[in-house]
Structure 1
Amino acid sequence: MDTKLIVTDKPEPNELGVIGESLAAFNDADVGPSERRTLAVLVRDEAGALKAGINGYTGWGWLFTQWLWVDESLRGQGMAGRMLQAAEDEARARGCHSAWIDTFNPVAEKAYTRQGYTVFGELPDFPIGRTRKFLKKKL
């Protein structure tokens, strides 16, 4: 078979779909279905504007919080903890036993440790001058 290696920053969406679906099929055959489901927590103000949120998913018994954002107007009021609690409650309802999250922001790390997460791994200088920390929690 003749192959060609292509490096790009503009892959076609269907190409990414093939990669994701193929990897999922491989993993399903290897360790069983992930039962991956999106999980979002949204916080809106009285006008309906999004002011905070979580984007993540559950799969293989774990909750992964990919993104957690709080608008500046709501920071310092425990919103991150309340959103994490809501996500964790939903993850438990879905049968999850644990959760994980990562950050390179020291303020966010404190919020996550207040929520009961503990550091299990680090990547120094990711980005330069910071350490990306990986945290987990038993649900």
Structure 2
Amino acid sequence: MATIDLTAAPSPDELAIISEGLTSFNQMEVGPSDRQTLTVLIRDESGRAIGGLSGYTAWGWLFTQLLFIPASLQGQGWAGRILTQAEDEARRRGCHGAWIDTFNPNARKVYMRQGYEVFGELPSFVTDRTRTFLKKAL
């Protein structure tokens, strides 16, 4: 008989069972995702990574998971340049759309200036901040 085990410390093998099972199911339902990591880094003068974008492409979409601009570079157009590079690479990979989410109102403005449009919101996600989901046709 199956049981339920709640844990805050699953093993890598246990997580792999979930990931591989879902991947297999999705491939049967909609075909392979062709998931590929996509990262755009900001480097300082010494070549050390100090910020950037981390995400992936899958099923014809670019998903930006993380985007960080150091405080010393904010307000200088770095986010837009990084997003443009990621979007260009996503197009080369055959993507037709991009999506991102944030609960930072300043980031939301940056993404909307970049051509993203809101398609969903979760009000009061963190305190009084709304989590906003945005998309863009590529």
**TM-score with structure 1 length normalisation?**
0.97
Deviation of residue 49 (structure 1)? Answer: 2.0
Calculate the aligned-residue CA RMSD, in Å.
Answer: 0.7
Count residues in correspondence: 138
Structure 1 unaligned segments of length 5 or more: list them: none
Map 1:83-122 to 2 at 5 A.
83-122=82-121
CA distance in 2, matches of 1:109, 1:39: 21
Instruction: Supply the AA of the counterpart residue of 1:112.
Output: Y
Query: Does residue 38 in structure 1 map to residue 33 in structure 2?
Result: no
Structure 2 unaligned segments of length 5 or more: list them: none
Instruction: Supply the AA of the counterpart residue of 1:31.
Output: V
CA distance in 2, matches of 1:7, 1:19: 14
8 Å Cα contact 1:51-1:74 kept in structure 2: no
Instruction: Supply the AA of the counterpart residue of 2:136.
Output: K
1:32-81 CA deviation, whole Å, 9 max, x = no partner?
A: 10111110001101112212211100000000000000111111100000
8 Å Cα contact 1:40-1:87 kept in structure 2: yes
CA distance in 2, matches of 1:127, 1:5: 30
Question: What is the percentage of aligned positions where both structures have the same residue?
Answer: 61
8 Å Cα contact 1:33-1:60 kept in structure 2: yes
Counterpart of 1:80? 79
Counterpart of 2:66? 67
Counterpart of 1:125? 124
Report the secondary structure of 1:126's partner residue: strand
| Structure 1 outlier segments of 4+, above 3 Å | none
**TM-score with structure 2 length normalisation?**
0.98
CA distance in 1, matches of 2:110, 2:50: 18
CA distance in 1, matches of 2:123, 2:17: 33
Bigger shift: 48-57 or 22-31?
48-57
Bigger shift: 3-12 or 102-111?
3-12
